[in-house]
Structure 1
Amino acid sequence: MKTRIVILNYNGCEMLEKCLPSIVDAARAATTPTKITVLDNGSSDESESFILSKYPGIDFVKAPENLVLCSYNDYLTKITEPVAILLNNDIRVEKDFIDPLIRKFEEDPATFLVAPRVMNFDGTAVDSADTRAEIRGGMFRASAQYPGHEAHLMVPSRTFASGFGAFSREKFIKLGGYDLRYFPGIMEDADLCLRAQRAGYRLYYEPRSVVYHMGQASFKKAYSDLKRETIAHRNTFFFMWKNYSGVIFWVNHLFWLPLRIIVSILRGRPGFFLGLAEAIRITAAGRKPSQ
């Protein structure tokens, strides 16, 4: 099954230098024909010249505009490979990480996503495995650190969501890709994966595929701590209001909300209140959030 690795990049030349060698080695080692694209979101550093000079076999594609993860939406309509492995520029991989991901697509036609086991960048701890989701205290929460998760780290299973991994390109396009209303990011991956599950597709966790993630390297460069906190809360509220309904949800959500606002004020955490206010505004306006 032909595969395309698509690496999203924004001013990440330094990270590409660290991570690309492992990805190139993995593509060569895979039993499935695998090509690599660096999808660039308007970098002003040396990313383009680095790729063109050091890796002429890699496609360097400039996104029309910097839509962060939503840049995948347009590009995936322009390629033909059935499977697209979507990666950040701060991810290095094991040499054999591709084949375990692809195998599930061959076994189960309903597969939408196969997520790898994610280690921290130096390989000393597991960052993410299979993910489970719940509404707790009136707020949505998805985590790989659920009670008893240690026993499941090496067990292939179903998962709720993943920000990167191997995706069915056809199903990704059919679902409309990432929702631009989460721009510049956070929760757009959970939203897409929830839509996939509700469409009847299946999402898997494959621990035999291992990657190493630096974690929000580009995001931390672009936004302050307060801004990242505000975006996270804004998009969490928007995610819930978009995807959940019913009396039980709203009673639970509205019961806890005033208490959470008070606690955030007492703790001096304005990001919660600011995110709530922004979520109300963009939901009412029905438009893309501001940066």
Structure 2
Amino acid sequence: MIKAATPPIPKPRQSKKVIPKKRLHVQSPLPDPVDSPYVPDQSELETNTVVSLNENTEETETSRMQSHAEESGLYDVFRFPVIDWESSWQRPQQFSQQFALHGHRVFYMTTGVAVLQKEHATYEEVSRHVKIKRIEPNVWLITLCANRRLDLYRDQMSAADIQYLKWSTDYVMDRFHIEHLVSIVDLPFWTPLVTAMENHKLLYDCMDELPDFSTNDKSILKQEERLAREADLVLASSQLLYGRMNFLHSSVLLLRNGTDNEAVGLASLARTTEDFEQAIERSLQDDDPEQIDARKQCAAQHTWEMRYQELHQVIFEKLFPKVSIVLLTYNNWPYTRQCLLSLQKPHRYPNLEIIIIDNGSTDETLHHLSELDPDLFRIIYSSSNLGFAAGTSLGCRKATGEYIILLNNDTIPPDGSWIRRLIRPLEQNQEIGMTGPMSNHVGNDQTVDHFAGNPIEGANPHWLQDFYDLNKGSYRYTDVLGFFCVAMKRSVFEKVGGLDSNYGIGMFEDDDYCEQVKRAGFKLAVIEDAFVYHHGSSTIKKFTSDEHDTLWKSSKAYYERKWNKPWQMPKRPDNLFIGADTPEEIAARLNKNDHPCTLVLGGVDWSRQNTRWQQIVKQLAADQERIIIVYLNKYHHHDMIGIRKAGPHLYLTNRLDLFAHVPFESTLYCGETNVLDGVQSQRNVIDACSYHAHQLSELRSKLTAPAVFEELQVAFLVRQIMETTLL
């Protein structure tokens, strides 16, 4: 018998300012990431950062509310305003304060900028000019850095301004570990910046008829149309503005500053100061009880609290579509516990439900599932093991999300971005029906060739950040996705139906469902910048060898009968050099490939410091038309062995001897001081900024006619090298 279960823990009373949250309580020597939310402290503050003068009285409340914002998976807010925080209290400050009171972290930009009058400053130089000041619980003032002073009403941003301002916002996002961001823009001046930013939801709050203001330059008016069209959501503060914005955007929310038309008859209109004073006097003298009650009710229905609630609901529904995670459990509580703790990490996806189907567990699993937060988890108990297919299908039918993620309980989801990364292609490409992440343990082409991590913490955080940087926005189509973690549109499940329960306990049901989805007209995609750690078949591993073989053979036979075709082995990991172990074979693989090949000689240890030569490698790796080979001995203290794929066209190796027969089109020196034996290269390039003067002189003397570049900024350096066609 299957029944829905409500955990026997009463729901806590909620406060307006801080909404308490239950979490999983389990005794363990392992660190609980939910107990350690990120809160910047004094030791982390830069010298240019200003903290509140009233810090002692605000510290506890700020830490508490920030902790709530992180643990509850609330999105953060950037406000790009038309007025400063200290100006007259208006709509931008009112909304910002409401977001903060409800647990969101709010970063309110100042209208003035910090000026760095240097043409090619680095990210580090720009970040040192960013000013951060906490002014209220959950509210920070941010002064961004630009190349020159900017007037919000008359100036247009230059390319350098946009770059410096974007780096400023990147710095704030990195500093506060922001994963889910809503940028609210009050003035079209900010358009070039906010449209250049990544990984945020853009909201235009249209509150003025801009053509009526003589202070606005014509360029600002042109920017408004672009802002409105590219925004994810548009707000309008009046009916007139609502009508105008409707011509530019399909999703416009009317959210007034004042009352709606229902207030007519309860309020008076005044054209002058004297009229206003007289209207107040008349209202105070009016002692009609019905009129007084009507005014009170009208005022109570038009508070900034209520406006926030309406806006927040729309943001949730439109900008963060609901995601349902379906997870099966059958004993193995240590694995389940590890997975659930990861799902409750700070900065999780904001609009989430987790549906757990317990397939008749007999260990401590049932007890601990009853302790889960009912606001986040829905638990369904089965008295018997339904098998993977039937249990998963049941969970999908109970799901209410626009997107469904099937997740094994022996996984460790990483930071809060993994869901966003998986559903982004589903939102943008209607042809894609299902997506899956890369992983350390999966039997197809989703396996990463280069991984650093462990079974306790999952992915090494420094490896993970490099993985994101090097595979940014990349995905490819495939034939089969591993169902340790797979995301799909709800509409796909409704069209295709549930998984085939004839496969019983498991095996081949993922191949079967992928076949169904493809035959329904959808594509399957591997998201190369998404990663989920997988322990690997924790349930299947408990079978004896004979049990495993019997199940495998019977499931395979059923699959082949059903689809009237032989089962095909999944694709191997996507590595150009897989299986090649001689210089001749390496050279042959590259000869068959149409892309030119560049060797990078930087430092021999890849570290967490993100050194200059590592930045150069990441910039080069963004070129999809070139294969990059990087000589390396260690990666984050791990020995580099063989040839490892680290990006779509990026390979790391400690075996240059395997490339002895490869005539590199170019070799880039950006740290290595020796000319390595056995390297064949058509041309040599030197990054002068990677060397001291005497090192540079000595290296130049060893190479034949090298091209030397002295550009300080890495992005410009790589661009210059590419433009000269030397690489």
Shorter-chain TM-score bucket reads 0.5 to 0.7
- 1:67 aligns to what? 386
Separation of aligned partners in 2, 1:217 and 1:173: 29
Superposed CA deviations along residues 22-59 of structure 1, whole A, max 9, x for unmatched, are 12227x432x5112122211111111221332545422
Q: Is the 8 A contact 2:421 2:527 kept in 1?
A: yes
1:197 aligns with 2:521: no
- 1:159 aligns to what? 478
Question: SS state of the match for residue 393, structure 2?
Answer: helix
Separation of aligned partners in 1, 2:393 and 2:541: 23
What's the offset of the Cα at 1:207?
1.8
- 1:231 aligns to what? 551
Separation of aligned partners in 1, 2:434 and 2:549: 28
Superposed CA deviations along residues 141-197 of structure 1, whole A, max 9, x for unmatched, are xxxxxxxxxxxx955101222213112233223322211111121111101101110
Question: SS state of the match for residue 530, structure 2?
Answer: strand
Separation of aligned partners in 1, 2:403 and 2:385: 23
Superposed CA deviations along residues 69-102 of structure 1, whole A, max 9, x for unmatched, are 2212123222221211111110001112110111
Q: Which of these residues, 483, 497, 514, is aligned with residue 176 of structure 1?
A: 497
What's the offset of the Cα at 1:111?
2.6
- 2:339 aligns to what? 19
- 2:355 aligns to what? 37
Separation of aligned partners in 2, 1:216 and 1:29: 25
Q: Note closer, same or farther for the CA distance 1:201–1:33 as it changes in structure 2 (3 Å cut).
A: same
Larger radius of gyration: 2
1:81 aligns with 2:398: no
- The share of aligned pairs that are identical, in percent, is 29
Unpaired stretches in structure 1, ≥5 consecutive residues: 121-125, 132-152, 250-291
1:186 aligns with 2:535: no
Separation of aligned partners in 2, 1:158 and 1:200: 14
- 1:145 aligns to what? none
Q: Which of these residues, 76, 89, 108, is aligned with residue 429 of structure 2?
A: 108
Q: Note closer, same or farther for the CA distance 1:39–1:213 as it changes in structure 2 (3 Å cut).
A: same
Matches within 5 A, 1:246-261: none
What's the offset of the Cα at 1:225?
1.2
Q: Note closer, same or farther for the CA distance 1:62–1:102 as it changes in structure 2 (3 Å cut).
A: same
Q: Is the 8 A contact 1:130 1:158 kept in 2?
A: no
Normalising by structure 1, we get a TM-score of 0.68
Question: SS state of the match for residue 25, structure 1?
Answer: coil
Matches within 5 A, 1:234-245: 234-244=554-564
Question: SS state of the match for residue 77, structure 1?
Answer: helix
Matched residue type, 2:399: I
Unpaired stretches in structure 2, ≥5 consecutive residues: 1-320, 448-469, 567-727
Separation of aligned partners in 2, 1:129 and 1:84: 22
- 2:636 aligns to what? none
What's the offset of the Cα at 1:216?
1.2
What's the offset of the Cα at 1:127?
6.0
Matched residue type, 1:38: I
Matched residue type, 1:109: Q
Q: Is the 8 A contact 1:112 1:167 kept in 2?
A: yes
Q: Note closer, same or farther for the CA distance 1:228–1:173 as it changes in structure 2 (3 Å cut).
A: farther
1:58 aligns with 2:377: yes
What's the offset of the Cα at 1:19?
2.0
Q: Note closer, same or farther for the CA distance 1:178–1:93 as it changes in structure 2 (3 Å cut).
A: same
Q: Is the 8 A contact 1:116 1:205 kept in 2?
A: yes
Q: Which of these residues, 83, 90, 99, is aligned with residue 410 of structure 2?
A: 90
Question: SS state of the match for residue 29, structure 1?
Answer: coil
Superposed CA deviations along residues 106-151 of structure 1, whole A, max 9, x for unmatched, are 112233211011114xxxxx765449xxxxxxxxxxxxxxxxxxxx
Q: Which runs of 4+ in 1 moved over 4 A?
A: none
Matched residue type, 1:92: I
Matched residue type, 2:539: S
- 1:5 aligns to what? 325
Q: Note closer, same or farther for the CA distance 1:2–1:129 as it changes in structure 2 (3 Å cut).
A: farther
- 1:210 aligns to what? 531
Normalising by structure 2, we get a TM-score of 0.28
Separation of aligned partners in 2, 1:33 and 1:234: 40
Q: Note closer, same or farther for the CA distance 1:83–1:179 as it changes in structure 2 (3 Å cut).
A: same
Question: SS state of the match for residue 505, structure 2?
Answer: coil
Higher relative contact order (CA 8 A, sep 6+): 1
Q: Is the 8 A contact 1:101 1:206 kept in 2?
A: yes
Separation of aligned partners in 1, 2:556 and 2:437: 24
- 1:280 aligns to what? none
Separation of aligned partners in 1, 2:544 and 2:425: 39
Separation of aligned partners in 2, 1:128 and 1:33: 31
- 2:624 aligns to what? none
Separation of aligned partners in 2, 1:112 and 1:64: 33
- 1:150 aligns to what? none
Separation of aligned partners in 2, 1:194 and 1:228: 23
Comparing 50-59 with 79-88, which one deviates more in the overlay?
A: 50-59
Separation of aligned partners in 2, 1:198 and 1:207: 24
TM-align CA RMSD: 2.3
Question: SS state of the match for residue 157, structure 1?
Answer: strand
Separation of aligned partners in 2, 1:67 and 1:112: 26
Q: Note closer, same or farther for the CA distance 1:194–1:127 as it changes in structure 2 (3 Å cut).
A: closer
What's the offset of the Cα at 1:200?
0.3
- 1:49 aligns to what? 367
- 2:140 aligns to what? none
Question: SS state of the match for residue 45, structure 1?
Answer: coil
Comparing 186-195 with 225-234, which one deviates more in the overlay?
A: 225-234
Q: Is the 8 A contact 1:119 1:128 kept in 2?
A: no
What's the offset of the Cα at 1:67?
1.9
Q: Is the 8 A contact 1:182 1:188 kept in 2?
A: yes
